[in-house]
Amino acid sequence: MDKFDAIVVGAGPAGCATAYTMAREGLQVLVLERGKYPGAKNMWGGAFFGPVMEEIFPDFWKEAPVERSVSRHTISMLTEHESLSFDFRSDRADKNHGFIILRAKFDQWLAKKAEQAGAIIATSLEADDFLYEGGAVAGVKVGSESFPASVVILADGANSLLAAKAGLRKEFGLHDVKQGVKEVIQLPREVIEDRFGLQDDEGAALEFIGSCTRGLPGGGFLYTNHDSLSVGVVVQLAAVGEQKVKASDLLEDFKNHPLIQRYISKGKTVEYSAHLIPVTGVKILPTFAKDGILITGDAAGLVLGTGLILEGANFAMASGVAAAQTVIKAKKAGDFTTKALDHYEGLLKSRFVLKELNAFKRAPEFLENERIYNTYPELLCSAAMKMFENDGTVREGSFKTLMGSMKGKISIWQLMKDAWMAKESL
């Protein structure tokens, strides 16, 4: 087997961005993907913010298989019977508001771009170990087969076993990851547009907190595709274990909520998937580079989760581009040692990747507060219920009604503490 300049493990957004950027500069690049095709094993909620895509592939949305562009964002608090929503719509919403995307189609398109630039994409191959030369990583192994390379870039996602094997990081703890489960539910296009108030290729991204996770840290989501809906929940893995609930049961609860039922009614489930998301940001950052190896995307824990935002794909692609630029420089210098590859961390620090993770470094701790998922949805929905009903008794002012709803549920002191923490974290 010839020696490649670089081997990329994983053909997700991080791996494809890395491979494309290196191959375009004439490097010999091999991408190993364990799925039958890129995207076969991959899932996400579906809202993709594309500034990095735009840098790599200008006007990508005109060509890439995007489902809809997001013109409506909602955040809703759910109790068992009620919901209270913040609903943002704009007919001026542009590409910066994101696109809704299905991974099976999108990852194949990205991989094709890397292939057209000159990378070799080899599927149904799971890298399970490394080759070493004088202590430095010098390629990967797939079973008994060896694939030598000057440098290996890990882009193998949240479950990366190779990251620990290379000594780049420990396995993620149960508090550091959320489990996501999702169904794709088919519905006619006109029904979707009618139910969500959309026109043409407009899309809606709906996020939920509260009873959808039975008050556990996490939330629900619902995104509109062309002719299907992506419906799912994400929940902290530690809480799932401690409370002995199954994420799949939470998804059933969520689908049966009166608000969600209206949206998905008469739909047919055509896909079910589950995946982990690393969500504690800077707390779990790895050693980014060692002799002959770099780590990118979810494998490196580069996901921004603030409760309002869950963004991983953009971070995965930006880290992939930074890794590729580092390798291109290292090849020119003929130096793949840790010292040369450390340039990568510098690039991550100079971009939004580590800047935003640092800006929101307190968010993961704040999001462990169970009042966000229990007390506040209950309190605000019950206040709304009182404000909007007329049972014949003399009504009080809105502020008094809200204070009345707080009685026995939360003290002013706790409320102020949570407000302060929210200000500091989000």
Least gap, CB of 49 to ligand FAD (angstroms): 7
Contact call for residue 298 and ligand FAD (CB under 6 A): yes
Q: How far apart are CA 238 and CA 245, in angstroms?
A: 11
Closest distance between ligand FAD and the C-beta of residue 348, in Å? 14
| Distance of closest approach, residue 271 Cβ to ligand FAD, in angstroms | 13
Residues 2-61 that bind ligand FAD (CB under 6 A): 9-15, 32-35, 41-48
Q: Is 307 in the site for ligand FAD (CB under 6 A)?
A: no
Shortest distance, position 17 Cβ to ligand FAD, whole Å: 8
- CA distances to 18, 109, 135, 365 from 335, rounded to whole Å, are 19, 32, 15, 40
Task: Return the residue nearest ligand FAD (CB atom).
Answer: 312
With binding defined as CB under 6 A, does residue 207 bind ligand FAD?
Answer: no
Cite the DSSP H helix spans in 282-337. Answer: 313-333
- Structure-token pair, residue 362: 């307190």
- 329 to 368: interface string for ligand FAD, x by CB under 6 A: ----------------------------------------
Residue number with CB closer to ligand FAD (181 or 198): 181
Question: Do 336 and 342 contact (CB within 8 A), yes or no?
Answer: no
Question: Minimum distance between the CB of residue 153 and ligand FAD, rounded to whole angstroms?
Answer: 11
Q: How far is the CB of 9 from ligand FAD (least distance, A)?
A: 5
User: What are the start-end ranges of the H helices in 208-257?
Assistant: 237-242, 247-256
- Contacts of ligand FAD in 153-192 (CB under 6 A): 155-157, 162, 180, 182
- Binding of ligand FAD by 312 (CB under 6 A): yes
Distances (CA, A) of 186 to 74, 226, 227, 268, 286: 21, 9, 6, 5, 39
Q: How far is the C-alpha of 346 from the C-alpha of 310, rounded, in Å?
A: 24
Q: Identify which of 114, 91, 151, 137 has the alpha carbon closest to the alpha carbon of residue 39.
A: 114
Give the span between the Cα atoms of 158 and 171, in whole angstroms: 9
Determine the Cα angle at 209 with ends 208 and 213, to 5°.
110
Residues that bind ligand FAD (CB under 6 A): 9-15, 32-35, 41-48, 126-127, 155-157, 162, 180, 182, 232, 234, 275, 277, 297-299, 303, 310-314, 316
